[in-house]
């Protein structure tokens, strides 16, 4: 595999991450100035929460989907595909999990390359052919190779603090500094909104990067493009009840659930049409 960087995409990700860093530095200065000694307590609380979330990310994600790890005797072909693709991607083979769901989707989770899980739904296995499934699995392995769980956890750390200050600001500050607390809550609300937008932009860029990585792992970007079209078409026939139950996993899925207002508001992925267009361009370049 020839793992090449898309410097234009990487540049956009770096700009987004840089804007987040500037925003968070300014936010930290405001909080320290107006809330004083209450900040270390808040940082320790949210930092501890984030560490727990980071180290238990695989278990939390699998539990929320009702998925279970499966061994090679249960899904031999799936294990063989992931094993071969992992070798092509120069990665340790991740654990394999399957979720009983009609929603055709997949996600990767885990705090690093040595503690990763790739999960697919039974709906996905029934929807895609072998080449399309390999494209989707390679996309998830690219997320693991790019360390996306770690990056997005770090990116969202101070956003979580901002949300906590907005929600519980009065508890963090000195009661004799009511004016300062109001300023801090206002600043936190602005930071939370802006970081919300920037983090989702970063998430969308990382989806493009994972698509590109999948094309490089398999050498067949057209297979992933075909898989995206198949999954997108099947989504239209999945009952709305099933879509609502799984919408909280949007940030993990290869294609997010975008039914209704909530799905569109919390958009973590670029449009399927744009992803397919880029994959088709890569296919043409390879040809």
Place of tokens 């609300």: 189
121 DSSP β-pair partners: 99
Q: Identify the pLDDT of residue 150.
A: 77
153 sits in which H/E element: helix 148-155
**Is 137 exposed, middle or buried, given 0-12, 13-18 or 19+ CB atoms closer than 10 A?**
buried
Residues 6+ apart with CB under 8 A from 280: 221, 222, 225
User: Any idea which of 8-12, 219-223, 237-241 has the lowest mean pLDDT?
Assistant: 237-241
What does the pLDDT look like over 6-16, one tens digit per residue?
677 677 778 87
Active site residues per annotation? 140
Instruction: Strands of the chain (E only): list them.
Output: 67-69, 95-99, 106-109, 117-121
Portion of the chain with pLDDT greater than 70, in percent: 68
Q: Identify the pLDDT of residue 195.
A: 79
In whole angstroms, how far apart are CA 203 and each of 151, 156, 250, 256? 10, 11, 11, 12
User: Any idea which of 48-57, 232-241, 252-261 has the lowest mean pLDDT?
Assistant: 252-261
Find the angle CA(157)-CA(258)-CA(96) to the nearest 5 degrees: 65
- Give the whole-angstrom CA distance, residue 282 versus residue 266: 28
- Give the whole-angstrom CA distance, residue 146 versus residue 197: 21
Q: Please say if the pLDDT value at position 262 is more than 50.
A: no
Longest dimension (CA), the chain: 69
What does the pLDDT look like over 13-34, one tens digit per residue?
788 777 877 876 777 666 666 6
CB 245 within 8 A of CB 238: no
**DSSP designation for 93:** P
36 token code pair: 């004083």
Task: Give the number of residues written for the chain.
Answer: 287
Q: Considering the entire predicted model, what is its pTM?
A: 0.76
First CA to last CA across the chain, in angstroms?
Answer: 16
**If pLDDT is split at 50, 70 and 90, which confidence band does 51 have?**
confident
CB 42 within 8 A of CB 188: no
Portion of the chain with pLDDT greater than 90, in percent: 36
- C-alpha 233, offset from chain centre: 22
Q: Is 147 left (phi over 0), alpha (psi -120 to 50) or beta?
A: left
């Amino acid at each position: 595999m020839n793992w090449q960087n898309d410097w234009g995409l990487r540049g956009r990700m770096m700009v987004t991450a840089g804007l987040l860093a500037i925003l968070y530095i300014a936010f930290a200065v405001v909080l320290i100035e107006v809330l004083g000694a209450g900040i270390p307590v808040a940082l320790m609380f949210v930092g501890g929460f984030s560490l727990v979330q980071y180290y238990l990310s695989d278990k939390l994600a699998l539990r929320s989907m009702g998925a279970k790890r499966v061994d090679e005797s249960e899904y031999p072909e799936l294990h063989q595909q992931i094993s071969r693709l992992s070798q092509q991607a120069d990665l340790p083979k991740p654990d394999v999990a399957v979720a009983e769901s009609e929603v055709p989707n997949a996600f990767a989770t885990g705090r690093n390359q040595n503690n990763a899980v790739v999960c697919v739904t039974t709906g996905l296995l029934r929807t895609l052919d072998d080449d399309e499934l390999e494209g989707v699995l390679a996309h998830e392995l690219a997320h693991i190779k790019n360390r996306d769980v770690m990056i997005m956890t770090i990116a969202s750390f101070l956003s979580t603090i901002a949300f906590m200050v907005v929600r519980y600001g009065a508890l963090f500050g000195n009661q004799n500094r009511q004016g300062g607390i109001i300023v801090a809550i206002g600043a936190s609300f602005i930071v939370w909104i802006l970081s919300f937008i920037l983090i989702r932009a970063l998430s969308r860029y990382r989806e493009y990067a994972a698509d590109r990585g999948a094309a490089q792992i398999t050498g067949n970007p057209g297979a992933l493009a075909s898989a995206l079209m198949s999954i997108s078409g099947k989504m239209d026939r999945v009952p709305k009840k099933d879509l609502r139950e799984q919408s909280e996993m949007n940030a993990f899925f290869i294609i997010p659930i975008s039914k209704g207002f909530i799905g569109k508001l919390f958009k973590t992925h670029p449009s399927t049409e744009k992803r397919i267009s880029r994959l088709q361009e890569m296919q043409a370049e390879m040809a």
